[in-house]
Structure 1
Amino acid sequence: MNKEKYEVVKEYVISNQQKFYRLAFSYVKNEDAALDVVQNSICKLLESYEEIRNLKYLSTYFYRIIVNESLGFIRKNSKEIVCGDENIPEEVYTRDYRFEGDDGLLKALDTLADEVRTVIILRFYNELSLREIAKITDTNLSTVKSRLYTGLKRLKQALQEVDYE
């Protein structure tokens, strides 16, 4: 076990846990499920951290684990997950990990395809560069750009259709 690498990984996880939770929650829309996704992701990271050759790519590596865990959770539990906020406790929205923005935006995000939603969330909610997103999603940079602009266009259309009375 590489003690020095382990300490870097441990410190990274501890100092960024709110970001990881927000990312998982943006997918699974359930407090307990998001905690499970983050916990499983951390376990996977700790099982495989020695495989990371360069620690400057630690965040890219771990974001990929979280995104994959979140999507895997959704696939496994798709019959139990209800889109919309009727089954989400109100306290989830009042904590500091709540996404800022109106409910129309959050509902519009749910209508996007997984790969498009991933790019939007990583870019605007986690403030990652397009190159980082390309590495996390293991896709070409031009594909990430295309997904970003497609997603923004669809979000704009969806938000124009929302009735703000």
Structure 2
Amino acid sequence: MTNHEKFELVEKFIIENQAAHYRLAYSYVKNKENALDIVQEAIVKALQSIDRLDETKYLKTWFYRILVNTSIDFIRKHQRVTIVDNDVLDGYLTQTEDEQMDMDLLDVLDDLTTYEKSIIFLRFFEDMKIEEVANILGENVNTTKTKLYRTLKKLRFEIGEEYRL
């Protein structure tokens, strides 16, 4: 496959999945503008390294790895700066019991390490198979499973037994 054909395939994939890419970036930074910047930077990186995409069947994994790494790099560079969207601030106003439980879960998710967040978001929010998550994170499947179960146990403990995941 030529680089031009790969470029067209990547372009189609990015356009078709733009909402999922934004959602994943947003899950890391909790800010609309920063999430959009991350997605844009990931797209540029992907297009610049298109020749490294050896097998197109791994396109999704390849791009998500770029997106996750770009998100993590952004967090490292901007660790001390926290910008919060108005939508997030509105979430702290008077809430129903279900909304409060959702906020508790979001608070606990924010306390996870970047790696733990990656596992949870990719597996449950992006509905990826454990093998895909392992490939994106560059881990062995069994290691990823172990870390996923450890993270879920941590979440259950933090949230409390009354809220079952």
**TM-score category, normalised to shorter length:** 0.7 to 0.9
Q: Does 1:63 align with 2:64?
A: yes
Distance 1:80 1:46 in 2: 29
Q: Which runs of 5+ in 2 are unaligned?
A: 92-98
Distance 2:103 2:73 in 1: 25
Q: Which runs of 5+ in 1 are unaligned?
A: 95-99
In structure 2, the partner of 1:89 is 86
Distance 2:129 2:148 in 1: 12
In structure 1, the partner of 2:9 is 8
Distance 1:156 1:34 in 2: 28
Return the offset for 1:21. 0.3
Return the offset for 1:113. 1.5
Distance 2:161 2:147 in 1: 21
Aligned length: 153
In structure 2, the partner of 1:97 is none
Q: Summarize the Cα distance change of 1:54–1:93 in structure 2 as closer, same or farther, 3 Å threshold.
A: farther
In structure 2, the partner of 1:142 is 142
Distance 1:140 1:67 in 2: 17
Return the offset for 1:91. 8.1
Distance 1:27 1:70 in 2: 7
Distance 1:148 1:159 in 2: 16
TM-score using structure 2 length: 0.85
Distance 1:31 1:92 in 2: 13
TM-score using structure 1 length: 0.85
Does structure 2 retain, via aligned residues, the 8 Å contact 1:74–1:81?
no
Return the offset for 1:64. 0.6
Distance 1:24 1:93 in 2: 20
- Aligned CA RMSD, in angstroms, stands at 2.3
Distance 2:89 2:112 in 1: 22
Distance 1:88 1:65 in 2: 25
Q: Summarize the Cα distance change of 1:115–1:102 in structure 2 as closer, same or farther, 3 Å threshold.
A: same
Q: Secondary structure at the match of 2:160?
A: helix
- State the percentage of identical aligned residues: 42
In structure 2, the partner of 1:24 is 25
Q: Which amino acid aligns with 2:87?
A: E
Q: Which amino acid aligns with 1:156?
A: R
